Amino acid sequence: MVVVEEVYLPSVEETYGLYGLAPEGRKLRAFQKEFIDCVNDEGADVIQLVAPTGAGKTLCFEYLLNQKHKVLLLYPTNALIQSQMQRFEDEGFRVANISSKILKRRGRERARELWGLIKRNDIILTNPDIFQAIIGAMYRNFERDLIQAFHQFNYVIYDEFHAYGEFELSGILTQIALFQNMSWCRVILSSATPKPEILGLLNLVRIGKDRRTPIIKNVKAEPGPSEGEKPIRHRTEVEFHQGRILDYTEEIADKLIDVIKDIEMSGPQILLIFDRVKDSNWFYSRLYKEYPDLYGYVEKDNGYDTNQIGDAPDFTKPILISTNKSELGLDYPIKMLFMEDGFSIDSFIQRFGRAARHEPAKCYIYTKKEANPLFTDESVGYLEFLDKIRYITDEYNIQTKKVVRLFTFRQALAIEGYSHQKYREEDLKAFFAVESGYSYKLWLKFFALLKKYDGLDLTNQNLNRLNLLVKDLKDACRSLRGRSLQRPVLYQRGHEIRRTAYDVLSVLNRVPAVVEKTDEGLIIKELTELESDDSGPFIKAITLPYFPAMIDYQKRNEQFRDEVETIAKNALGVFPEKQQDFLLSCIRSLYYSVDPDRVILPEEVILWNDKVVPLLEDAMEFYDD
């Protein structure tokens, strides 16, 4: 066991009350004062706010809300939006939430409803998916005014910015380009685990008439002495185990039984974070079957439970089972944490930050690699602890070339989407700077060539296939996170069968299931009678409309690229030689930049038992969580 010591942040003499914040007598932390000074200086286009979990970043946002400006706060999940809304409302702010579930109207009226909410409210919390859909012309907006949403705000805040990968970042850069060009506003990027590559990527955004790069200022909360202040992280006892939580089920259950006798039913105080939804579901069901007395104290909240039909999770229970869904914004007094080490050091830091926020805690960490030899001392500082952990976790680095290609591709899609409105098309061209190398002009030429030959009624089956593929790529890139085929899923949730909505390929590949056709469409029913060690994967192959052969689903990335290469080479014979080289180069840069899972909506899925599941209904869904 190793003890991770407390973390303090230095304070300054100024108090909250000096800036209209509550409680009035409390001192500002140094980074909060620096943020306020940076805002008032007005010298930065972009402010990167870096602070550990629990440091008080939200108070910085509250300062902006107090200034009577129009503020847009963008969060990666709806669960985080709900959490933050409650806090802002408790502080007396009038806030509005916009999500796909809040918008009730359909068709043309949906765009009018969205525009009305944006115009009427000064403080809006939503996800960036909504604004990417506007850029992608996904709303039926006959008045063509919805793009003016980027003209409305004084401050735009992207919280938990580390949560976005290359695909999403390319869309968010496009959004920032419009926010800062359609009417200059300040952009705040907030995170506990920022990526240095992102600041370099911001140089792709050019603003103003002189097309300059944004002026970026960094505000960072550095740990240090803070006399008389409470720590932002309390003392944490850490115990490492190699393997998964499931490998230690009996041992963990015994620990939980020992502590629940002294715990009140007043909300989560013990948290278990799994890497996989399937494992968290299985652990919960096993507690029901084998530990019924303990089961009554346990609640579960993962991706399945987000959209489930039935009673909402009961967050008065003291033990919470979750997944990476809990990495963002979960703020309970967790004093006992069982966590798998996640998929990267960023994931690890976010999970570890859930505990010891309000009081000392004990943390059991389950790692893929042996961690105990890293720690020879009985106690260690927080930053030193994280440095050592990097040796056993993966480092997730942004692949900037992918972002650049998709950034310019999304720009071209926006320009094409508004091409029927000439003045708007010219505006967008002006807002998106043309740089050397990849630019939106390259992609507009790519679109024009394919469209020209597509309209000549040539009997070239491969060219038809290529155009279908490019259409799917365009559809994926119009939304922030790509395409997802959502279907109803029946699954065992502890003592009962529940229904939820989830990505069909994720479910079919990760759990044994059957697909039933009902009057309301296809329903996936997870099988519960198979042994737990039957871990899959369960999808053997898929069929896509533009590939003549089935795709081996477990090798889909490599085969997808091979098939695209073959089809492209066979399709491009109708083009002059120079155009062939250009088009093939564009196609290659696309399929190396986009993961197939963001694009593919298969016609059929072939399961492990050779059962064929038809999936002919097209779908485009926003990932809310």
Q: What is the pLDDT of residues 327-364, one digit of tens each?
A: 887 788 999 999 999 999 999 999 999 999 999 999 99
pLDDT at 532: 46
Please give the average per-residue pLDDT across 432-453, as a whole number: 82
CATH class held by domain 10-220: alpha beta
State the pairing for strand pair 361-367/336-340: parallel
SS3 of residue 56 by DSSP? coil
Please give the average per-residue pLDDT across 398-418, as a whole number: 93
Question: CB–CB of 78/85 below 8 Å?
Answer: no
The pair of structure tokens assigned to 586 is 């564009």
pLDDT at 491: 86
Least confident piece of the model among 5-14, 188-197, 260-269 = 260-269
pLDDT at 129: 95
% residues pLDDT > 70 (the chain): 95
The pair of structure tokens assigned to 343 is 């998929």
pLDDT at 435: 61
Who has greater pLDDT, 330 or 219? Answer: 219
Least confident piece of the model among 485-494, 519-528, 564-573, 580-589 = 519-528
Among 301-310, 353-362, 495-504, 514-523, name the most confident range. Answer: 353-362
pLDDT at 438: 64
| Topology of the domain covering 236-389 | Rossmann fold (3.40.50)
Who has greater pLDDT, 459 or 233? Answer: 233
pLDDT tens across 150-206, in order?
A: 999 999 999 999 999 999 999 999 999 999 999 879 999 999 988 889 989 998 898
Select from 505, 545, 543 the least CA-distant residue to 522.
505
Q: What angle do CA 340, 343, 345 make, to 5 degrees?
A: 90
pLDDT at 625: 36
% residues pLDDT > 90 (the chain): 63
Model pTM? 0.93
Residue 233 CA to residue 4 CA, distance in Å, equals 9
> Residue 54 pLDDT > 90, yes or no?
no
Total residues belonging to the chain: 625
State the pLDDT confidence band at 404, using cuts at 50, 70 and 90. Answer: very high
Q: How many other C-beta atoms are found inside a 10 Å radius of the C-beta of residue 140?
A: 13
- Per the prediction, the chain carries an average pLDDT of 89
189 membership: H or E segment, kind and range = strand 186-191
